[in-house]
Structure 1
Amino acid sequence: MSKRILVVEDEVQIARVLKLELEYEGYDVLVEHDGKSGLEVALHANLDLILLDVMLPELSGIEMLRRLRKAEVNIPVILLTARNTTLDKVMGLDQGANDYVTKPFEIEELLARVRSCIRHNTLSVKSSNETPLLSIADLVINTETREVARSGISISLTPKEYDLLVYLLTNKNKIVTREGILMHVWGYEYEGETNVIDVYIRHLRKKIDEEFSPPLIQTIRGVGYAIREN
């Protein structure tokens, strides 16, 4: 069965090109031109991926994404943005985006990101079905319900924080490199500032280590990170 992609893009010509290119690759494509109608489709259609422009009429792409995640709709989202600052990228990822592409973009790069994002999500679902619980010490993740708790206390994580924690726990007691984190959590070979990892590690530490003992996330200087009990 073909994977179904929703394109939410207000520039008609760009939307048309994306639809043609994606359909040529074998995807089933839906198109909306504003955030309000895009949100309606995303909430009710059976989708595998959303390509979401940030600057949209009616409802911005970031606000549409925020409402989707608030409604616990975890469809992978790739943001299409003309902005190119670390702050804008981090804001989008913090709202639950899985990836982003900066305009203007090469269509082959976008298609590669689409394939990677869908593949990563498929593997995550498969992994969740096979191993619903991940744990270390008193930290437990239920990958079926995406619930995270430490010492029985529920912890709220953003989608990207959750993905990062799952990757660390999947490799518990092992050192994971920054390159490995970027590839497996962001789903592609990142070609920009890597301090986004530091931002997310800092957020995770504040949520799962700051109020608990012992601290679990360790920095391996010059290499990467590890999650372990000592």
Structure 2
Amino acid sequence: MATVLLIEDDSALGLIVRDSLTVRGFTVLYAADGEAGLALFQQEQPDIVVADVMMPHLDGFSLTQQIRQTNPDVPIMFLTARSQTTDVVRGFELGGNDYLKKPFSLDELIVRINALLRRRAAPQSGVSEAEWVRIGRYQFDASKQKLSLDGRAILLSHREAELLRHLYEQRNQVLERNAVLLELWGDNSFFNGRSLDVFITKLRRHLRDDSSIQIVNVRGIGYKLIL
């Protein structure tokens, strides 16, 4: 079963969540602040991180920034009472994968954890794992989650690589927003929609050194990768 790193400074909530996950077969590593959580992450390399945003010593957003410097793939879920759109967007921009507002049900938490773990483990399809494909002047390796241009490599997160793969497979055609949300995020909720917008922005930045490439919004429908 998967190993969950739970970082929550509210000890009562933290112990309830830890015990509930343990009963359901997860191995749970628990830390009460961001610094301790980061140390546990570096030592144990868990399968998923579930972290509060507002924590002493190191907040959840700063924790995510540090994790993403060395590990672009591990799923990170935020638990927080903060629900402003700007906070949600910032969390996704920094590399978070999901956002669960307090108070939450333990059943929903477990469903979301399992969904993130399944998406990470799912095999890629469409673009051959053994081959590079050319996107303008870039070379894209979906299996290695890497873009290359003029000898410079850009390492992508799993979600970035999957989204770019979908755009490439539908190149010069519309990639429907709802379809990609259901495929990669599991549902088309508002928060996941904002996450998709953030990842589209990230891909545009990664591809900005070739002006012939465009990812355009098709209003009310989705996105189109134009080559």
- Asked if the contact 1:95/1:158 (under 8 Å) is kept, the reply is no
- 8 Å Cα contact 2:88/2:191 also seen in 1: no
Q: Which residue of 1 aligns with 2:224?
A: 226
Aligned length: 225
Q: 1:152 to 1:216 in 2, by over 3 A?
A: farther
* Paired-residue identity, %: 29
Cα displacement (A) at 1:155: 4.5
**TM-score, structure 2 normalization:** 0.84
Equivalent AA in structure 2 for residue 167 of structure 1 = H
TM-score by length of 1: 0.83
Give 1:6 deviation, angstroms: 0.8
- How far 1:156 moved relative to its partner? 6.5
Counterparts of 1:64 and 1:206, CA distance in 2: 23
Which residue does the alignment assign to 1:72?
A: 71
Aligned-residue offset at 1:193? 7.8
Q: 1:60 to 1:192 in 2, by over 3 A?
A: closer
Structure 2 match to 1:23:
22
> Which residue number corresponds to residue 104 of structure 1?
103
Code of the aligned partner of 2:25: G
Q: Which stretches of structure 1, 4 residues or longer, exceed 6 Å deviation after superposition?
A: none
Residue deviations 1:97-136 (CA, integer Å, cap 9, x gap): 111111111222211111110000001xx328x6154534
Q: 1:192 to 1:62 in 2, by over 3 A?
A: closer
Residue 70 of structure 1 aligns to a residue in which SS? helix
Aligned equivalents of 1:107, 1:82: Cα separation in 2: 15
The aligned counterpart of 1:215 is 213
Equivalent residue for 1:127, pick from 124, 127, 138: 124
State the AA in 2 paired with 1:18.
Answer: V
Which segment is superposed worse, 149-158 or 168-177? 149-158
Distance 1:192 1:73 in 2: 21
Q: 1:151 offset after TM fit, Å?
A: 6.2
User: Over the residues paired in the alignment, what is the CA RMSD in angstroms?
Assistant: 2.8
Output the amino acid matched with 2:61.
I
Q: 1:120 to 1:160 in 2, by over 3 A?
A: closer
SS, match of residue 127 in structure 1? coil
**Aligned residues of 1:133 and 1:140 also touching (Cα < 8 A):** no
Residue identity opposite 1:127 in structure 2:
Q
Q: C-alpha distance in 2, partners of 1:170/1:20?
A: 43
Paired residue secondary structure (2:124): helix
